[in-house]
Amino acid sequence: MWPAFAQIDNFCSRLKQWRLSRKVTPSKPPCVLDFSAALGSMPPRGRALVSYVAGTLERDAARGRSQWFNPNGASLEIARALNDLGYVVDMVSFYDKEFRPSRDYDLFVGHGSYNFRQIAEALAPTTPKVYYATGSYWRFFVQETEERYTRFCSSNRLSREEVGSRRDPLDQDYNLSIVDLLICMGEKTAATFASAAKRIAPINNAAYLDDSLSGLSRDWENASKHFLYYGGTGNIVKGLDLLIEAFAQEPECHLHLYTPLEDEILRAYRRELSSPNIHYANHLRFSKKRFRQLIQSCAFSVQCGFTTGQTTSMIASMGYGLVPVMNRDASIASPCVLIEGNTVPAIRAAIREASQLPPAKICGLSQEVKENFSTSHTPDAFRKGIRNALAGLLAEPAQ
């Protein structure tokens, strides 16, 4: 029955995207000037320009946080980190192709490729330029995506032409050739940029938590058989096809899917998705109460994607005490059950290992995971990571 609900969610998700695409785009994207909310009483040392998400910056600063950490919350913390370093911040939308600097800037932090080049070329050659990346190097992403989709098609006897990838990556090479610093998420992600960037500062991604979901108690013995896959679209990139195939062969272990499922997943795995141990969380109409019950019933979160930058959903699940079952490509340094390879047999071995851990051991790991979140993946930790990365660059004499 639940695959039919997944089809409805899929349709509703596409309808929502269509409705958003029909909205009239403002003639001029939002721009925030003179942001200094976290500057305090210190005299400013300069002015920084940021090209990321400007639309909610002032509102989020007044509230103390955004609705979602990525990208709005990250934009807020980048601006705050620059204030911490003494910079007054101007922020523009990274989609604003019309923007041209009308001031001199002492630092530029940009994201994406929509307006990075036009801004960078309008700045003084001596202005330090920083590229903030949320994913892996685009050439690596294209290659790995193609390998994942090819495997999926081969496993399900589909022609490659029947299934398209979900992202059109933007060429980053020009950006990386001129920047003084690349900031990215995690050490494994940094490695994908090694051939393209001169200087790389890997930091940790972050997530917001719902305070009402903190301090949950669990029946660890029962929860030890339950695993949560939590995330947005891009399911093949994140290894959901591998997970479905693995759990279909491990009937004692339960996979809970809190994600919108794409057409190719629904078509290819109709039989597997009807298995009694694979459950759909009805993503678009899921209440907070039901989400709490879902988090409380699971001991583990699971993912087996390739390196695309630390995923916010996996980090959030850690904050709620779910023990990660993940591969090294997750690029998250946390207590976990490691998937030793991006294959179905490796996933089966990992979920069997996790489900057979003593309840007291899982409870202890859960506490360690929450402590890891509280020290490494909070918005404050993200802000500190940005601040330290920029401070290291700015402390060096100009070349």
Residue pLDDT, tens place only, 192-205: 999 999 999 999 99
Determine the average pLDDT of the residues in 141-147.
Answer: 92
Determine the average pLDDT of the residues in 266-270.
Answer: 91
Determine the average pLDDT of the residues in 256-274.
Answer: 91
pTM of the shown model: 0.89
Residue pLDDT, tens place only, 196-242: 999 999 999 999 999 888 778 899 999 999 999 988 888 899 999 99
Residue pLDDT, tens place only, 18-65: 454 445 445 567 899 999 999 988 889 999 999 999 999 999 999 999
Determine the average pLDDT of the residues in 152-157.
Answer: 91
pLDDT of residue 115: 93
pLDDT of residue 3: 56
pLDDT of residue 217: 86
Residue pLDDT, tens place only, 66-112: 999 999 999 999 999 999 999 999 999 999 999 999 999 999 999 98
State in words which class domain 24-137+169-206+379-394 has: alpha beta
Integer angstrom CA distances of residue 350 from 57, 252, 253, 344, 354: 42, 13, 11, 10, 6
Sequence ranges of the chain with CATH classification 3.40.50.2000: 209-376
pLDDT of residue 20: 45
State in words which class domain 209-376 has: alpha beta
pLDDT of residue 398: 44
Determine the average pLDDT of the residues in 246-265.
Answer: 93
To the nearest whole number, what is the mean pLDDT of the chain? 89
Going by pLDDT thresholds of 50, 70 and 90, the confidence category of residue 311 is very high
